[in-house]
Structure 1
């Protein structure tokens, strides 16, 4: 923990960005429980739940070619303010969704809001390597992932309680208020950053990024390596497990909130324990451990209380995998391509997350058990460990720090 506090004290821009991240990510997750609870109350089938989960990822896939160029041309603060305003508007408009006939509006609002959220995320992740480097960048990524996980924990858990006590609509109103608070903090964020590509043309910049990734194979392989973390997009799986196994013992909103919160406890603790231990040589073992813990969760899924414990174990390794693979990628990108490469990286990652959500819905609708689905998702991490071993044999990866 000491290394986190030291870096935050020495880097005032990172400190304010981290506070903004905490509030904005909390807001992004706070209304998710309300959305899934609303869908289950409408008695929609598994494919609709999976589609809504996929809509959390698809915007980032579709907008990546343009968003990366925009990030490399426009000042990050202006972008983040605009994106936060979009999130506020979409969150308030969710109040209009009250029945199945309004599902079309829910789809649009989730799509646009998560598009703004993923864009916001890409802006910040392309900003970090411009103000930090080496081990400081790895620690900043760990702080970022811990904030994401803490926001996920508190957002899901508290939203479950709010939805249970005061209802779905109150959750949406409170959520919009959080984004307003983040907007006020953003206006006070001050830093000097000159774009290296302000006068370049869009098409030329897109072509340059494509050629850069194509000719630097190690960057492409690190993008694919990081994208495997998209197979931890368990939102649809968790909502379905509550609907199928736990609805008779706990309120739906509380069940969804507690399961997500349990996994996020592991997400928060993991990097504190593993952050100093992980390196290029040991990274492969973390993929193996992730595969094992996901399989263990599948084995105990029918038991709510054992599932809570297993969820903590699933989250324990995930954050470190995410932050270390992201830092490895950032470490191998030339500075003038940060925005575009990070945007394409997020496109692949979010594409895998969208595919995972749709796959869960498709398999569940075709009577594949949730336990089997969980084992399938876990197996991808075993394959990824082998893939990482291949990368290390064929490329010389820079050590971080």
Structure 2
């Protein structure tokens, strides 16, 4: 933890960006819990819940081919301010969704909102290698993931009580207010990054990126490795668990908040304990441990308190898996391609996450138990460890 504090003290831009992350991520969970609470109160089908979960990822998939190109061509601060503005407006627009007849509007708003959020994330992650020394990237990614996990922990817990006490609309307003504070913080920060205007067309830059990946297969494989962490997109699973097992025991919004926040406890503390231990070779063990954690969770899922405890174990390995695999990609990518590679990497990651959400809903609809669905996720992580072992032996070792 001391190295994180030292880096934040020495890097003003990183410190300001991290503060914005903390505020905006914290607020985002108010809307998240409010949306799923609204859906459960509308008594929608498992397919609708899965679709809404998938819509949190699909925009990033569809826009990735062009977003990375724009990131490599535009001033990062101006772009990020525009994206935060879109998030503010779209969050307030959620207030218009009041009954099941407006589900179509909810889909559109979520798509626009998450498209802006995904674009912002890609712009920020491609900015970090431009403002930080190579040796500090791993710590910066870990700081990012710790902030995300901390805001997830506290945000989910608090938002559950806020939605329960004040209602869905209050959660949307609070979320928009926090995004506005983030906008003001970003507006007042100076980011000295020179953007090279190559004069190449968007299509030409996209073609060059594909050529680059073809010539640097290790980067493409690392992108696939990172995307496998997208299997931990549990929004649909948790919403269905609450609906099937816990709604008779505890209020829906409270159950959603507690389930997500308990997993986030593991997400916060994982990198604190694993940060110094993890290296290129040991990454495959994290895939194995993640699979074991998921098997345990699937076994105790029906029991609310045991499920809360198991979800802490599930989250413990996820953050480090995400941050270290992301760092490997940043280290192995040439500076000229940062924006585009990060965008395509996010596209693959979000594709896995959205497919996971959609499959969860479809499998639940045709009769698969939630326990078996999570067990399949666990098996996928065991297979992922074998895949990474091959990559390490062929491309990374030595």
After TM superposition, is the score higher than 0.5?
yes
In structure 2, distance between residues paired with 1:340 and 1:79: 15
After TM superposition, list the pairs within 5 Å mapping 1:276-355 onto structure 2: 276-355=276-355
Alpha carbons 1:264, 1:312 under 8 Å: kept: yes
TM-score (norm 2): 0.99
1:357-377 CA-to-partner distances (Å, cap 9, x unmatched) read 001000111110000001011
The equivalent residue for 1:97 is: 97
1:47 aligned onto 2:47: yes
Alpha carbons 1:47, 1:361 under 8 Å: kept: yes
In structure 1, distance between residues paired with 2:199 and 2:150: 39
How far residue 198 of structure 1 moved from its aligned partner, in angstroms, is 5.0
The equivalent residue for 1:193 is: 193
Alpha carbons 1:29, 1:152 under 8 Å: kept: yes
The equivalent residue for 2:378 is: 378
> Structure 2: 5+ residue runs without aligned partners?
none
Alpha carbons 1:28, 1:117 under 8 Å: kept: no
1:367-391 CA-to-partner distances (Å, cap 9, x unmatched) read 1000000101111110110000111
How far residue 397 of structure 1 moved from its aligned partner, in angstroms, is 5.0
In structure 1, distance between residues paired with 2:207 and 2:345: 16
1:74-103 CA-to-partner distances (Å, cap 9, x unmatched) read 011011100011001111110010111100
In structure 2, distance between residues paired with 1:207 and 1:321: 30
The equivalent residue for 2:7 is: 7
Partner of 2:396, secondary structure, is coil
In structure 2, distance between residues paired with 1:193 and 1:395: 32
Partner of 1:395, secondary structure, is helix
Structure 1 residues 198 and 264 mapped into 2: Cα distance closer, same or farther (>3 Å)? farther
How far residue 236 of structure 1 moved from its aligned partner, in angstroms, is 0.5
1:395 aligned onto 2:395: yes
In structure 1, distance between residues paired with 2:306 and 2:376: 20
How far residue 199 of structure 1 moved from its aligned partner, in angstroms, is 3.0
TM-score (norm 1): 0.98
Q: Could you list the runs of 4 or more consecutive aligned residues of structure 1 that deviate by over 4 angstroms after TM superposition?
A: none
In structure 2, distance between residues paired with 1:212 and 1:306: 48
Which stretch shows the higher mean deviation, 190-199 or 248-257?
A: 190-199
Q: Report the aligned-residue RMSD.
A: 0.9
The equivalent residue for 1:361 is: 361
In structure 1, distance between residues paired with 2:102 and 2:157: 27
The equivalent residue for 2:175 is: 175
In structure 2, distance between residues paired with 1:3 and 1:301: 37
How far residue 266 of structure 1 moved from its aligned partner, in angstroms, is 0.4
1:121-179 CA-to-partner distances (Å, cap 9, x unmatched) read 00110011111233311000000001111121122111111000010011001111011
1:96-126 CA-to-partner distances (Å, cap 9, x unmatched) read 1011110000000001000000111001100
The equivalent residue for 1:228 is: 228
The number of residue pairs the alignment matches comes to 398
Structure 1 residues 198 and 176 mapped into 2: Cα distance closer, same or farther (>3 Å)? farther
The equivalent residue for 1:73 is: 73
1:118 aligned onto 2:136: no
The equivalent residue for 2:240 is: 240
How far residue 21 of structure 1 moved from its aligned partner, in angstroms, is 0.9
Partner of 1:31, secondary structure, is helix
Partner of 2:154, secondary structure, is helix
Alpha carbons 1:271, 1:319 under 8 Å: kept: yes
Structure 1 residues 50 and 125 mapped into 2: Cα distance closer, same or farther (>3 Å)? same
In structure 2, distance between residues paired with 1:372 and 1:243: 17
Partner of 1:287, secondary structure, is helix
Which stretch shows the higher mean deviation, 191-200 or 249-258?
A: 191-200
In structure 2, distance between residues paired with 1:24 and 1:344: 24
In structure 2, distance between residues paired with 1:336 and 1:187: 26
1:217 aligned onto 2:211: no
